[in-house]
Structure 1
């Protein structure tokens, strides 16, 4: 089990992209949709994200090594009496770091950051095949409350 005391959570930089994309590709779903050998589209996307004040691509770093990533988005809205919500996406923990508390610390950080922003709701989605992730999120207090739909374009 890994300690989380030496973990630093910080905004991602362009230099972190190879590690981030490698983690995105390191599972059965990601392996079919990510291209770690060609970072060109990720560099363009990262530029768009860093220019948007509502988007926060974060990394968890142990020593000099990126061991986790997530994207936290703040969405102002009219529903829920004009409240802001946050969306957590792209959560990944390096394979050799799983099970040591890093994921819990990372999600707890995102929830706390959402509170600081005045969010009234934190939401996330997880592919139906990720049953281990579903149990993880439920242990952290999330509930499976909606049915999600996607349209590939």
Structure 2
């Protein structure tokens, strides 16, 4: 197997939708995801991918911003690796690649949210040096 990490071009963003769908367990339709990602690519967003030869097997969205408490930062979003590729050190390599990549953009901090019901991911990120400074709250607005 030959793995590579690279930024997915904005015009190819739809290639990540099957992995996003798996991550969200189908809670959001593919049609809605397509519409949202057509908006997302015009914001301060990039997406990194893990490739096994030409096959996309992992992703991490990256939202770039400046925050009063952390300075110039990137928030990782929808981090996902296909089940068959987990527990082989690939996630750690991916996070190291992302860290090196965002350093080239003078980012001072990396942030992310992890689902409460996924304690394995909590251990993974804590082993990489991430801290839990607070809780993420969400209030959906009915339109």
Q: TM-score, normalised by structure 1?
A: 0.79
Q: 1:74 corresponds to which residue?
A: 64
- The structure carrying a bigger helix percent of its residues is 1
- Other structure's SS at 1:123 match: strand
Distance 2:100 2:77 in 1: 16
Detail structure 1 runs of 4+ shifted over 4 Å in the superposition: 13-16
Change (3 A) 1:49 1:16: closer
CA apart distance, 1:115: 1.8
Q: 1:21 corresponds to which residue?
A: 17
RMSD: 2.1
Distance 1:40 1:147 in 2: 30
Q: Retained in 2: the 8 A contact 1:49–1:57?
A: no
CA apart distance, 1:103: 1.1
Distance 2:136 2:69 in 1: 18
Distance 1:126 1:49 in 2: 20
Distance 1:61 1:33 in 2: 25
Change (3 A) 1:72 1:15: closer
- Other structure's SS at 1:142 match: coil
- Other structure's SS at 2:65 match: strand
| Aligned partner of 1:108 among 96, 108, 112 | 96
Q: Which runs of 5+ in 1 are unaligned?
A: none
Q: Retained in 1: the 8 A contact 2:17–2:34?
A: no
Distance 1:117 1:125 in 2: 21
Q: TM-score, normalised by structure 2?
A: 0.84
| Aligned partner of 2:35 among 31, 37, 44 | 44
Describe the superposition over 1:94-149 as per-residue Cα deviations: whole angstroms up to 9, x where unpaired.
11101112211111122222222112211101111010000000111111121221
